[in-house]
């Protein structure tokens, strides 16, 4: 779902320049997975490289900027007397419109690297239930109860990557230049649930393709869903990207050098200097033809 015509225009300009954008994403994902031996190292590398790479991307008619944060603690939620980690990586894409309005879509990822010398990933069942079924849960102070009812399947997703792959050993099933996949949690539940093989998802796109689809607003949970927006706002406060009341998340966090949580926010808007140019207007009109 895309709400505003201007957002559709931004999405179309991105698609018109898909080759350059995809090339950046291929490089970022490949360099990150080839240089990492664990989830935290991979997440840190991915976020750092995405931030730098997208900031340097030049697309005629658009301005792209990023904001990111990596912390060495995990957001812990409580549901049905169970505790589990909410996720490892929050990806937020924002389209800034000339009216001042912002359209936003988000995806929460649980990142898993496969076992050594294998493409099998071990799945935590409590995390899987949370991201696939979304039972009511608490995160933060007692009044911070969340009853999430996503309008899309992919709000809760997994990012499944091979551990120590050889350069160029991409996945099969026509996932060109992709080492890993990003299936939504409900699909992981149906195929797993405790162990899944990265190559056993025949209808799942590769990690880069899925990430590209999020940037162009083909997928992602829209923040028109107020309960989802409220959760994402809480995660921003948790990561100190927004002001938070004292001790809001006391008891809902686990600090560890071996674990972490990251947010990458991708901001896109029409370039004010050429927003009214013939080329920009042509791309907008072309979207509707």
| pLDDT band at 289; cut points 50, 70, 90 | very low
DSSP 210-241: HHHHHHTTSSSEETTSHHHHHHHHHHHHHTTS
Which range among 170-184, 245-259, 260-274 has the greatest average pLDDT?
260-274
H helix runs in the chain, sequence order: 5-16, 18-34, 39-55, 125-133, 185-191, 207-215, 226-238, 278-288
**How large is the angle between the packed helices 18-34 and 39-55, nearest 10 degrees?**
150
Q: Which residues contact 276 (CB under 8 A, 6 or more apart)?
A: none
Q: Which whole number is the average pLDDT over 157-186?
A: 90
Q: Residue 265 pairs with which residues in a beta bridge?
A: 67, 92
The percentage of the chain sitting over the pLDDT mark of 70, rounded to a whole number, equals 92
Cα–Cα distance measured from residue 106 to residue 123, given in angstroms and rounded to the nearest whole number: 22
Q: What is the pLDDT of residue 288?
A: 39
Q: Which residues contact 243 (CB under 8 A, 6 or more apart)?
A: 237
Task: Express each pLDDT in 66-98 by its tens digit.
Answer: 999 999 899 999 999 889 999 999 999 999 999
Q: Which whole number is the average pLDDT over 20-41?
A: 96
Q: Which whole number is the average pLDDT over 29-40?
A: 95
Largest CA distance in the chain: 59
Q: What is the pLDDT of residue 282?
A: 53
CB atoms within 10 A of CB 240: 10
Looking at per-residue confidence, does 177 or 231 come out higher?
231
CB atoms within 10 A of CB 253: 16
**Three-class SS of 98-119:** CCCCEEEEEEEEEEEECCCCCC
- The yes-or-no verdict on residue 111 having pLDDT over 80 is yes
Task: Express each pLDDT in 254-282 by its tens digit.
Answer: 777 777 899 999 999 998 776 555 454 55
The percentage of the chain sitting over the pLDDT mark of 90, rounded to a whole number, equals 78
| pLDDT band at 241; cut points 50, 70, 90 | very high
Cα separation of the two ends of the chain:
18
- The yes-or-no verdict on residue 52 having pLDDT over 80 is yes
pTM for this entry: 0.93
Looking at per-residue confidence, does 144 or 151 come out higher?
151
- Residues 149 and 225 sit within 8 Å (Cβ to Cβ): yes
- Residues 249 and 75 sit within 8 Å (Cβ to Cβ): yes
Q: What is the pLDDT of residue 244?
A: 81
Q: Establish whether the linkage from the previous residue to 135 is cis, with ω within 30° of 0.
A: no
């Amino acid at each position: 779902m895309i709400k505003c015509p201007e957002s559709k225009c931004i999405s179309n300009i991105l698609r018109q320049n898909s080759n350059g954008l995809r090339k950046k994403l291929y490089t970022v994902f490949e360099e990150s997975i080839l240089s990492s031996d664990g989830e935290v190292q991979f997440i840190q590398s991915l976020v750092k490289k995405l931030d730098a790479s997208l900031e340097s991307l030049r697309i005629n008619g658009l301005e792209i900027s990023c904001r990111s944060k990596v912390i060495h603690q995990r957001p812990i939620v409580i549901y049905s007397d169970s505790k589990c980690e909410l996720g490892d990586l929050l990806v937020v894409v924002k389209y800034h419109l000339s009216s001042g309005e912002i359209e936003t879509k988000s995806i929460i990822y649980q990142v898993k690297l496969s076992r050594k010398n294998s493409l099998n990933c071990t799945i935590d069942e409590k995390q899987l239930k949370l991201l696939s079924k979304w039972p009511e849960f608490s995160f933060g102070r007692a009044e911070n109860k969340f009853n999430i009812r996503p309008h899309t399947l992919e709000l809760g997703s997994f990012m499944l990557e091979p551990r120590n792959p050889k350069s160029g050993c991409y996945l099969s099933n026509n996932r060109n230049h992709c080492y890993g996949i990003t299936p939504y949690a409900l699909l992981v539940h149906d195929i797993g649930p405790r162990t899944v093989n990265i190559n056993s998802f025949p209808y799942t796109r590769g990690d880069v393709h899925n990430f590209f689809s999020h940037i162009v607003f083909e997928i992602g949970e829209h923040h028109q869903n107020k309960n989802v927006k409220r959760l994402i706002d809480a995660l921003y406060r948790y990561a100190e990207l927004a002001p938070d009341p004292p001790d809001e998340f006391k008891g809902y966090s686990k600090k560890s050098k071996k674990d972490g949580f990251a947010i990458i926010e991708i901001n896109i808007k029409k370039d004010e200097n050429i927003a009214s140019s013939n080329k920009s207007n042509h791309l907008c009109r072309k979207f509707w033809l």
